[in-house]
Amino acid sequence: MNPVSSPVPAFGLGTFRLKGQVVVDSVRNALELGYRAIDTAQIYGNEAEVGAAIAASGVKRDELYLTTKIWVDHYAPDKLAPSLEESLAKLRTDAVDLTLIHWPAPDNGVALETFMAALAQAKAKGLTRAIGVSNFNIEQTRRAIDVVGEGEIATNQIELSPYLQNRKLAAFLQGAGIQVTSYMTLAYGKVLGDPVIGAIAARHGATPAQVALAWALQLGYCVIPSSTKRENLASNLLAQQLALSEADMRELAALERNGREVSPAGLAPVWD
């Protein structure tokens, strides 16, 4: 199997909250439409369905970029690699392209240095081609770099939308050569009814979702939107062809309101 080269693909399919036949259909439709990066996680409870949909698609493994995330219950060194091996079996592959620590979980009893070292060991074993983090703040990302070395962290996957622009963290990551992956780019759909975004969309003959995704892409971020509808999956892909003007980007920048949607107690860090 030929490794899929980094960096992380700019556009992928998210599968958060999609279960059973719903996620099978979403992945199938996405692959038929041309998506080649798929993001899942152990806690999503859908790795087996994602693996089944990929197997049924006929798309070759070396054409895909698969990401999964280690859940907090598996951070101990004797659990992390075995849990990833279980994920690989569900996904029907001998290695994923990217494995992330899902949350820093500062209160779960396993030190950041310990689980980052275990993640690096999983990469050394060939279970994953690249490693990264998710929901880490600047200080935690620095500590992670200290453990695994500069250039080893492929991405920090963070909540980021026009309502939560995370500029300080994003600037730090980009300066450190770490790819920013934006999740919840549509803020659970809240940005879709925004009048400013709607006006920009109207000017371009685009949809509000395309505008929000194009905004993130133009800032250099990766995006992983999800949808259960084939027409929305197809529409989202077109965001890659939408060129927003400097005026558009200024209007979108002004929408910042620290509108965080996800911050689970015990798992989330102190945000920057």
| Position 147 pLDDT exceeds 70 | yes
Q: What is the mean pLDDT of the chain?
A: 96
Task: Please indicate if the annotation marks 204 as binding a ligand.
Answer: no
C-alpha distances out from residue 119 to 19, 155, 183, 210, Å? 26, 14, 22, 35
Question: Higher confidence at residue 4 or residue 195?
Answer: 195
Give the SS3 label for residue 115.
helix
List the chain domain ranges: 13-190+222-238
CB 266 within 8 A of CB 110: no
| Position 4 pLDDT exceeds 80 | no
Q: Of these residues, 35, 44, 65, 163, which one is catalytic?
A: 44
User: Taking Cα atoms as reference points, which of 87, 63, 62 lies closest to residue 74?
Assistant: 87
- pTM beyond 0.75: the answer is yes
Share of the chain above pLDDT 70, in %: 98
Q: How far apart are CA 18 and CA 155, in angstroms?
A: 23
Residue-level pLDDT at 7: 80
The pLDDT-based confidence of 108 (bands split at 50, 70, 90) is very high
What confidence tens digit (pLDDT) does each residue in 166-188 have? 999 999 999 999 999 999 999 99
| Position 31 pLDDT exceeds 50 | yes
CB 248 within 8 A of CB 199: no
The pLDDT-based confidence of 158 (bands split at 50, 70, 90) is very high
What CATH number has the domain spanning 13-190+222-238? Answer: 3.20.20.100
C-alpha distances out from residue 130 to 143, 168, 263, Å? 18, 25, 26
- Name the DSSP class of 1: -
Q: Of the ranges 4-13, 79-88, 185-194, 218-227, which one carries the lowest mean pLDDT score?
A: 4-13
- Name the DSSP class of 3: P
Q: Assess whether 183 carries a catalytic annotation.
A: no
C-alpha distances out from residue 4 to 61, 86, 182, Å? 9, 21, 21
Give the SS3 label for residue 109.
coil
What confidence tens digit (pLDDT) does each residue in 113-132 have? 999 999 999 999 999 999 99
CA dihedral 233, 205, 182, 128 (to 10 degrees): 40
